[in-house]
Amino acid sequence: MFNKTLLRCLSLFLLFLVFSCNEIKSSSDVLNSGVVITFDDDFTNEWSQVHIYLRDYNWKATFFVSDYEALDSSQVHQLLELQRYGHEIGAHGLNHLNAPETINQIGTQEYLDIEILPQLDLMQSDNFTINTFAYPYGARNQASDSLLLEHFKLVRGTTYGDTLPSKHNCFYANNKLVYGLGIDSSYPHFSLDYLSLLLDFAKENNKFIILYAHRPVKEVNDDYETDYLTLQFIAEYIKSNNMQFLTFSELDNLSN
């Protein structure tokens, strides 16, 4: 009787371990691989529309806003609605200035006074939480990184090319400077086949890939446009492979 009871207890314990390990593995898969999609500039109408298109995927994105003073009240409301849903709103410069070039011309304090601090004041007064920054034109250097990381948790540069995924720097590497790869259709390196390779690498190696776009459209007719099918392709991949969307600032939580 004792042996049967002991055997039953051991069997139940082993089953518990198996289910626990499977649950931990599944959770780990979700937490440790995924995509960070970012958008630049001030295409608030298009951002709001693509949000509706992708909402059923429970997606997240980060919208880096420039030229904030030129936005009207309806555009500000659109951004607030995106933030309320769970997307992140970040800074892309009040005047979309080339950071190293401007700092070299007018100095660090003047650059902060015309490009960074006024945008933070304006957007925070409108109830935006601004923690991250994306460089206009991807233009940056070590001095600008050091300066801007005094005001933001993370900054995003840009990277290019269709090098092997294992050699690419578009994956998060626990650094405050993060590089995003463009997915606008006009970039020479862009194709769904190459994007699929990068997503496969992220999934298989527990990585987060950082992507950036500008204006999402149903049909591409100009530079700096990303079609809906590309974004849907990414969302379908995330859903099918048990991966995760993160906002840009959530990358900082991973390193912490």
Q: Phi first, then psi: give them for residue 223, nearest 5 degrees.
A: -65, 160
Q: Which two tokens stand for residue 186?
A: 């006009």
- pLDDT digit string (tens) for the chain, length 256 residues: 445 554 454 444 444 443 444 444 443 444 589 999 999 999 999 999 999 999 999 999 999 999 999 999 999 999 999 999 999 999 999 999 999 999 999 999 999 999 999 999 999 999 999 999 999 999 999 999 999 999 999 999 999 999 999 999 999 999 999 999 999 999 999 999 999 999 999 999 999 999 999 999 999 999 999 999 999 999 999 999 999 999 999 999 887 6
Q: Quick check: 182 and 161 in contact, CB under 8 A?
A: no
In this structure, how many other beta carbons lie within 10 angstroms of the beta carbon of residue 97?
21
200 torsion bin: left (phi>0), alpha (psi -120 to 50), beta (else): alpha
Q: So what's the pLDDT on residue 15?
A: 41
pLDDT digits (tens, 9 = 90+) for 25-35: 443 444 589 99
Q: So what's the pLDDT on residue 3?
A: 52
CATH superfamily ID and name for 32-255 = Glycoside hydrolase/deacetylase (3.20.20.370)
Q: So what's the pLDDT on residue 8?
A: 52
Domain boundary assignment for the chain = 32-255
Q: Quick check: 160 and 181 in contact, CB under 8 A?
A: yes
pTM, entire model: 0.88
